[in-house]
Structure 1
Amino acid sequence: MKSLLGVALATTLAAAQAGETIRVAIGTQDTTINCVTGGLLIRELKLLEKYLPRDGRYKDVQYDVQWKNFTSGAPLTNEMVADKLDIGSMADFPGANNGAAFLKAGKQSLFVTVLSGSTLGSGNGIVVPRDSKVTALSELKGRTISVPFASTAHGMLLRAVANLGWDPQKDVNIITQAPEVAGPALQAGKIEAHADFVPFAELFEHRGIARKIFDGAQANVPTYHGSLVNAEYARKYPEVLVAFLRAAIEADRLLAAEPEKYSELVEKVTGIEAAVVYLYHGPLGLQTRDFTWKPEYRGALKTSIETLKLMGRDSPLDAATFVDDRFVRAAFKQSGLDYEAQLARQDKLLLKANDALNGKPITDVQRAAGLWVQGEPRVRHYASIEGAFADLQKVQQSGGKARAVYVHDLIHRIKLLAPNAWFVADAKGQLSAFLQKDAATAYAAANKGRVLDFGAAQASAKATL
């Protein structure tokens, strides 16, 4: 610790004093489930208390641990700048706003760790009302799209629109709308489309009020959520910050080992269905939980800072100095982990399972599928989509119900909720899944297949097996 945090310790503003009360005020985004390892799980499992330093200069101090929950990054940033919070978790784009806001106030914040993200860009999405005829973003020219302003989804939307060669000021009408307002608006058909961050595109799908027509992976712009700290606090109490990061690392380990169990806990606290939480945090999930500062994430932060300029918010914020990985490296070392080895990995949480039908290990996952049956503590896994659908029919025939059915987009390798996906059955009856209908149509044409919706794909599987 001493060598790794030498610079921080050398600039400590004041040593902890006997009897001193040290505030640890943490801003969370419970419903932004990518942040659960940096907030909700630490709080609910009381992991921070396990790692807070209690020896050396911290021998006789008291800790005042405070938690405050937010639905987005902007208000969390406001309270950090106002010195009401010390640590907070948010996405790359709001994080850039955080750094810019601190500089504007004559202060400094540091982006100290990634929590969860996608080097491909998956996690942000655009949805339309369930009964809408729109199947692709390219069909929304001249339409109104709502989005939480200053969110990572806002940045994704601006870049996706720009990739189509459109002027975001003229070719689409972008309005601000929080997810809690957008859900009822989508259900009532009051908005034509909505862009949002983790997990709302999939949550609205799961609740049957919307269909996802665009995933951030299609823009191929990396995105992530992570944790920031007031730089003054990090200089004053570096060991406390490392304790927070060690607690986050343990929360990640627990979630990886038992994703269904902790998805249930997240549902209990937030109301976000465990099936959607698992979509992100289970094996081969929509995003990868990873605490290392991969080049793609550093690049995403730089892109976010540049995107601020598109919104007229120029700032001297420098991504190179805004990211500070010394503290998470120290947390890795104290946890007995190899930071450099993890930095080099790109894998999602691996699927280590046997096929629920034949008991054989699943080795090829591009057409793998999952079935979470109501009343069962674990997700069933299958080597093929047709196998999962055949088993689903048996469950339904015996009076059971599916909590969720999972498949994977063949092109983007992203996990999908099967009822909202498109499928192609080839000449042998093998099923492949796709997010977008046009992609399924193109694949069917190239492989002499048939495009099917979820119901038709189930019937196809029954006829094949």
Structure 2
Amino acid sequence: MTLRLHLAALVLAASALVSTAEAETIRVAIGTQDTTINTATGGLLIRELKLLDKYLPHDGKYAGVSYDIQWKNFTSGAPITNEQIAGKLDFGVMADFPGSFNGLAHIKAGRKSIFITALQGSVGGSGNGIVVPVQSPIQSFSELKGKTISVPFASTSHGMLLRAVKEQGWDLEKDVTIITQAPEVAGAALKANQIEAHADFVPFAELFPWRGIARKIYDGSQAKTPTFHGALVDADYAAKYPEIVVAYLRAAIEADQLIGKEPEKYSELIAKVTGVDAEVDYLFHGPLGLQTRDLTWKPEYRQAVATAIDTLVLLKKADQTYDVNSFIDDRFIREAFKQSGLDYEAALKNYAQLPLDAKDAATGEVITDPKRVAEVWVAGEPLVRHYASAQNALKALKSVESEGKTARVFYAQDRESGIKLLGAQAWFVRADNGEVDAFLLKERAEAWAKAHGGSVQDFATAKAAVVASN
């Protein structure tokens, strides 16, 4: 009897060894762009908070499998595409323009990738922008005729720049010189006044002004062309492991929900990981942010991909076009919404900015007009203070300083477009009744003052005027 038990134990042990040897290990390799902070919900936050582990399947055909989760960080989309085509990555996050190139490059290599979700973007075009050196006299894009503008080639900001040139009716060969320059090179060049203007993607059109080495003179919303960053996956991988694709998207949904509830906390986390200042991170991820976090395939985002593909062909960066409807696949994000208990159709129809449900920190009044909102993030305070108007925020700023405290940053919303601005870089119109409105461009502030009355002021002047009137 003892011998039989011993033999049975040996058989069980052998079976276990065989089972272990045969257990599948599935790779989940994701290429991120951490410093492109509007991709955080598809990369950085999932990784840092270990959200993917929560949703990866372990039943059915996945019973007994183990996962080899690999994260690789890049500064742009192009190397992610290269790694995907080489079979080293399964997922990648990037913008509409490089994402479209990703799809075309896969076709050329005899493979296929699919765009599975948007992560954050703007149907109006905000996120991309053009900056000039701080001391430059240039105040608007129209003044760049005959100038040299640098841009990361084949980026979403490159597409924006080409559209802006077209809008002016300029000849690309004669009226402007466009050169390629990566963000890390452009920053030094702007600081040393070595370039006349630079176009860039998230977050550099805001980060350079925030760090005092440039002024923003053009926002992508002026081109009125949608832009977004999203996620792609290898089509064969998605066909073989659809449940893993859905798991990744469920992790992205939770990341989106978390930063929506606590934007200051997670802006600080993004800053810690990337070195991109939390004040700039919040500019994108906070309520009424410069862009909207949006995981649905809005028609405008589909059009952004189509426009990018056409532009790449025009630039001879690609020699064939691509059917957008075969490239964008919304089945996985729809299933992720369903499993997360969310209504995809309702989200698809929602075009509102990330909402601000708050009362004025000074007056207690409910904030109702998003285009007049201003905010102050006080050093040492975990939460941003919200105000119903710029004049209320400027008054509060004086009180903060009189208490010996320091304001990390002052935000204001553009009176016309509603996009969030860094207050120190904005222009203000102070009306005769004391009301103050903010604008990205001096020329728009001047037009507003002419139409509605009031004087145009920079941030320091507007601040001093509000203080003096009280």
TM over 0.5: yes
Give a deviation string over 1:126-179, Cα, whole Å, max 9, x none. Answer: 000111100001101111111111100000000011100012232111111111
In the other structure, the counterpart of 1:254 is 258
Alignment of 1:267-306 (within 5 A): 267-306=271-310
Who is 1:115 aligned against?
A: 119
Distance 1:60 1:431, change over 3 A: same
1:185 corresponding residue in structure 2: 189
Residue 105 of structure 1 is matched in structure 2 by 109
- Paired amino acid for 2:258: L
Distance 2:166 2:334 in 1: 37
The aligned runs of 1:162-311 (5 Å cut-off) are 162-311=166-315
2:156 to 132, 152, 167: 152
Where has structure 1 moved over 6 Å in runs of 4 or more?
A: none
Equivalence for 1:42? 46
Q: Distance in 2 between matches of 1:411 and 1:170?
A: 33
Q: Check the 8 A contact 1:18/1:60 in 2, yes or no.
A: no
CA distance in 1 between partners of 2:174 and 2:231 (Å) = 35
- CA contact 2:310–2:321 (8 Å) conserved in 1: no
Partner SS state of residue 372, structure 2? coil
Q: What is the number of residues matched between the two proteins?
A: 449
Residue 85 of structure 1 aligns to a residue whose secondary structure is coil
Query: d(CA) in 2 for partners of 1:111 and 1:25?
Result: 16
**Offset, 1:447:** 1.6
After TM superposition, list the pairs within 5 Å mapping 1:134-153 onto structure 2. 134-153=138-157
Q: Pick from 326, 336, 341 the counterpart of residue 341 of structure 2.
A: 336
Instruction: Tell me how far 1:18 sits from its aligned partner.
Output: 5.2
**How big is the shift at 1:363?**
1.4
Farther-moved stretch of structure 1 (304-313 vs 23-32): 304-313
Q: Does the Cα contact within 8 Å between 1:18 and 1:61 map onto a contact in 2?
A: no
CA shift for structure 1 position 96: 0.5
Instruction: Describe how 1:125-136 pairs up with structure 2 within 5 A.
Output: 125-136=129-140
User: Which of residues 66, 69, 84 is equivalent to 1:65?
Assistant: 69
User: Rg: which structure is higher?
Assistant: 2
User: Any gaps of 5 or more consecutive residues in structure 1?
Assistant: 1-16
Q: Is the 8 A contact 1:218 1:412 kept in 2?
A: no
Match for residue 368 of structure 1 among 364, 367, 373: 373
For residue 413 of structure 1, what is the aligned residue in structure 2? 418
In 2, the alpha carbon distance for the partners of 1:384 and 1:153 equals: 32
Match 1:379 to one of 374, 384, 406: 384
Is 1:18–1:59's contact at 8 Å kept on the other side of the alignment? no
Q: Deviation string for 1:266-294 (max 9, x for gaps)?
A: 00000001000000000000001010001
- Letter in structure 1 aligned against 2:379: Q
Matched residue, 1:23: 27
Identity of aligned residues (%): 64
Deviation of 1:27 (Å): 0.1
Q: CA RMSD in A?
A: 1.0
Equivalent-residue separation in structure 2 for 1:410 and 1:464 (angstroms): 22
2:89 to 85, 88, 112: 85
| Residue type at the aligned position of 1:27 | G
Q: Secondary structure at the match of 1:242?
A: helix
- Map Cα deviations across residues 395-454 of structure 1 (whole Å, 9 max, x no partner): 122221111100011111110000010011111011111111111111111122101000
1:314 positional shift: 3.0
What residue is the counterpart of 1:389 in the other structure? 394
Secondary structure, counterpart of 1:328 in structure 2 = helix
Name the counterpart of 1:449: 454
Is 2:380 aligned against 1:400? no
Matches of 1:173 and 1:316, distance apart in 2: 27
Cα distance in 1, alignment partners of residues 339 and 453 from structure 2: 56
User: CA shift at 1:380, angstroms?
Assistant: 0.2
Per-residue CA deviation, residues 40-86 of structure 1 (Å, 9 max, x unaligned), is 00000000001000011001111000000000001111101111100
Q: Is the 8 A contact 2:32 2:93 kept in 1?
A: yes
Paired amino acid for 1:139: E
Q: Which residue does the alignment assign to 1:11?
A: none
- Give the structure-1-normalised TM-score: 0.95
Which stretch shifts more, 111-120 or 305-314?
305-314
Q: Which amino acid aligns with 1:138?
A: S
Matches within 5 A, 1:317-356: 317-356=322-361
**In structure 1, C-alpha distance between the alignment counterparts of 2:398 and 2:293, rounded to whole Å:** 33
* Distance in 2 of aligned mates of 1:457 and 1:18: 70
Give SS of 2:326's match.
helix
- Displacement of 1:462 in angstroms is 1.2
Aligned equivalent of 2:445: 440
Give the secondary-structure state (helix, strand or coil) at the position aligned to 1:157: helix
Given the two structures, how large is their TM-score scaled by the length of structure 2?
A: 0.94
**Deviating more after overlay: 438-447 vs 276-285:** 438-447
The answer to whether the 8 A contact 1:425-1:452 is kept is: yes
Q: Is the 8 A contact 1:25 1:65 kept in 2?
A: yes
- Retained in 1: the 8 A contact 2:427–2:457? yes
